[in-house]
Structure 1
């Protein structure tokens, strides 16, 4: 069994907010032993001297949409686990079945989203299930449980009785339910919470509850009286208190709105991970197409940018669960992996401490979905580590200055991980193979 020793590094205990110099002994894919600086170190195993470096747990992106083509970018950015919020778990099998030490992220995934007619992404397909029938929604939940979904995802045009049925069915299997109400015209975040939805993605549906009748799909001129730059803090407080009663969890994905609102001055630091996106033509093309509609995106979708930020901070201050996610690769230039670092910057910009921001992408994220084997640096946990050149507790931007990554006990440089990016032809072949199996199975 492979062994690795990382010595002399400053280990950041994200759970307790303390740091100490010590060593981490890794055996196989797990942390075997935490060793104090004064204790004797094991001999005869591969050893890395991390003197002057800072060690944090592997980061977790709690809302993204992965593709094999850019999966390595997550790990190259120090993001070793992702929560895939809608897609198809059968399409993701190649990633989900990878060994712990693979240079691709660990995947915690929902299956296709359940939406109402006519379907925001079109009629029923491998990526979405469209119905206004509560019993059909129950059957779809059961199918998703059978194929291995980790949670259920509902979408914004779902009807109230369908949402209630899906939540009720999911509870029979101890499955959490998430919803994206960004474009909802009928249901609000409070409606979803009262029906038993666990996760509110993007802090969506809050605006619909605060401003009854508003949605991104309405004529925005009729809502010009809303001061989106300075949202009503009293209304936010009142709504957050109501949401807290239902113990909902928030993944605000601030970066996806912020990138659009900041355009053309987007966040795009110079590093080898971001530069490598230049070879992923379909992503760049999609982002450029969205830029053609940037004014509409700003006025209809990303307009809730400041509201989302205020909700995230208010709900957290009240004791609610708020975790870090990105919605990669939505809208424009939400770089897989790297976008999470910008999300952490935004956490700090709205008033979180550096430690609190780190917790939102490590220990708190892991706890929120009961992944007890990751999220902290402790004996017995999976050895997912990010070794940094500077202290992120002094400046959260230091999470971007990565020396190397340990994924499932295996050490990688960023360049080594990026060398594992599959070709466009390989990914297309994988997708084609899936589509043939899907169509042959005749799944509705």
Structure 2
């Protein structure tokens, strides 16, 4: 395949060159003034801007809406907790197929009472140190890329999980939004590398606060954030090169509802059903307070030179559309002080480097041919990332129209997941975990 005459972005420098680019065997192979070969597919890139494929660095993907991510130019996702068997069709997909590449955790490891209830297909809730260590070992065997811990984990268990994870060369990611006994400083000093949702930092600023706290504990966070104090508490995180994934779109969407809904040409009906069940329980003023602090923390950490990644947590809470939500997250990052170029880096080259994936995130020879051809320059206005002409994944080109059509088809094919989840709730014994999943997948699960 040869793409002629597009403006190709060197994401490492922020400069464009007007040239041709050849793709062979799913990789970028040549760049320059190139002649087409006999029988070679040629795409006219005149007037288009080629950027690396985007990465949503915090989401929860499922097979029935995976192509929606790709339709938004997201060629790689960092899936922050899931189920390795439910994700098998994505993990095993060919490089060129119409689903994003997957960097993933398995079940999150939580304390008791579990933030999401008792032990299930998606989380382990335990106070037993050995059980937690065995869970890390089990996840390592499934081929996870990192370990995810959750808000109710104790400091003692956190240290054991980190110790076992490091023994297997895996980073640990933490969501501490609901933590009432841990904060970001404790987690980072124990060895946590990624703080999802900028979590644990508000507990440093306002001890006793957590996401599910009583109204009186929310009173201090309704005041404007003190950025000098934020800069002070961020120093221990900065010293350890902690990586923040703000997911501002998650909080902004909940804060703005019902006045703002991200629209798209196709929204998964199963997700709409979940969101409609969630909306009565959304407290907009609480999410507005969290959003205001998350944005201030993001701005200060970026100013201090800290690493920030673009993520959305889609499809969590309400109307955080898979794929399209990342475009708004990039806009919110620019409102937090990042330039359009810096925001674009936070979804391309920066995560590729911190996640040790040098084959992704840049348009250069030998890298996977994951790219987006845009109709307008995103370095002038970050909103231009949504003006998509063509998406490339592993050298295969897709239009948004065919990816939305694929999503509609997948919605019907992958409804088995709902049945799997309901059946899993009846089987909480850890020893049955893999046997249950495997028996279900081949359709022989006993009633």
Residue 285 in structure 1 maps to residue 280 in structure 2: no
Matches within 5 A, 1:29-428: 29-35=26-32, 39-44=33-38, 45-228=40-223, 230-269=224-263, 274-277=264-267, 280-294=268-282, 296=283, 298-421=284-407, 422-428=409-415
Quote the offset at 1:58 in angstroms.
0.4
Q: Which SS does the other structure have where 2:415 is aligned?
A: helix
3-state SS, counterpart of residue 84 of structure 2: coil
Q: CA deviation at 1:321?
A: 1.1
| Distance of 2:424 and 2:151 partners within structure 1 | 29
CA distance in 2, matches of 1:26, 1:423: 28
Aligned CA distance change for structure 1 residues 382 and 368 (closer, same or farther; 3 Å): same
Partner of 2:5: 8
Structure 2 stretches lacking a partner, 5+ long: 435-447
Q: Residues 434, 237 of structure 1: CA spacing in aligned structure 2 closer, same or farther, 3 A cutoff?
A: closer
Separation (CA, whole Å) in 2 of partners of 1:124 and 1:433? 15
**Counterpart secondary structure, 1:200:** strand
After superposition, the C-alpha distances for 1:149-169 in whole angstroms (9 at most, x for unaligned) are: 110000000111000100011
Distance, in Å, in 2 between the alignment partners of 1:75 and 1:226 is 37
Task: Specify the SS of the correspondent of 1:170.
Answer: helix
Q: C-alpha separation between the residues in 2 aligned to 1:303 and 1:89?
A: 35
Structure 1 7/292 Cα, relative in aligned 2: closer, same or farther at 3 Å? same
Alpha-carbon distance in structure 2 between the residues aligned to 1:30 and 1:436: 42
Secondary structure in structure 1 of the residue aligned to 2:364: coil
SS of the residue corresponding to residue 313 of structure 1 reads: helix
Unaligned runs of 5+ in 1: none
Length-normalised TM-score, structure 1: 0.93
How far apart, in 2, do the equivalents of 1:124 and 1:377 lie?
Answer: 42
How many Å apart are 1:347 and its aligned residue?
Answer: 0.8
Kept in 2, the 8 Å contact 1:185–1:213? The answer is yes
Alpha-carbon offset, residue 264 of structure 1: 2.3
In structure 2, C-alpha distance between the alignment counterparts of 1:116 and 1:418, rounded to whole Å: 39
Q: Is the 8 A contact 2:265 2:404 kept in 1?
A: no
Taking a change above 3 Å as real, the CA distance of residues 433 and 287 of structure 1, as seen in their structure-2 partners, is closer
Partners of 1:411 and 1:79 in 2: CA distance:
13
Say if 2:8 is the partner of 1:17. no
C-alpha separation in 1, matches of 2:424 and 2:294: 40
Q: Using the alignment, how far apart are the partners of 1:196 and 1:203 within structure 2?
A: 16
Q: Partner residue of 2:441?
A: none
* Residue 442 (structure 1) aligned to one of 432, 438, 446: 432
* Partner SS for 2:204: helix
User: Any conservation in 1 of the 2:255–2:286 contact (CA below 8 Å)?
Assistant: no
The Cα offsets for residues 177-208 of structure 1, whole Å up to 9 and x where unpaired, read as 00100111110011100100011000011111
What is the Cα deviation at residue 423 of structure 1? 4.3
Q: Secondary structure at the match of 1:411?
A: strand
**What is the deviation of 1:293?**
2.1
User: Which piece of structure 1 moves more, 234-243 or 109-118?
Assistant: 234-243
Q: Measure, in 2, the Cα distance between the counterparts of 1:302 and 1:121.
A: 23
Q: 1:409 & 1:210 partners in 2: Cα distance? A: 47
In structure 2, what is the Cα distance between the partners aligned to 1:293 and 1:206?
25
Gap change, CA 1:225 and 1:147, over 3 Å in 2 = closer
**1:217–1:300 CA contact under 8 A, matched in 2:** no
Q: Secondary structure at the match of 2:64?
A: coil
Q: Distance in 2 between matches of 1:210 and 1:142?
A: 35
Instruction: Note the C-alpha offset of 1:418.
Output: 1.9
CA distance in 2, matches of 1:433, 1:304: 34
Structure-2-length-normalised TM-score: 0.92
Contact 1:90 1:147 in 2 (8 A): no
CA deviations 1:216-269 (Å, max 9, x no partner) are: 2221224424344x2111111011112111211110000000111122221525
Q: Aligned partners of 2:217 and 2:102: how far apart in 1?
A: 42
Quick one: distance in 2 between partners of 1:292 and 1:436? Answer: 26
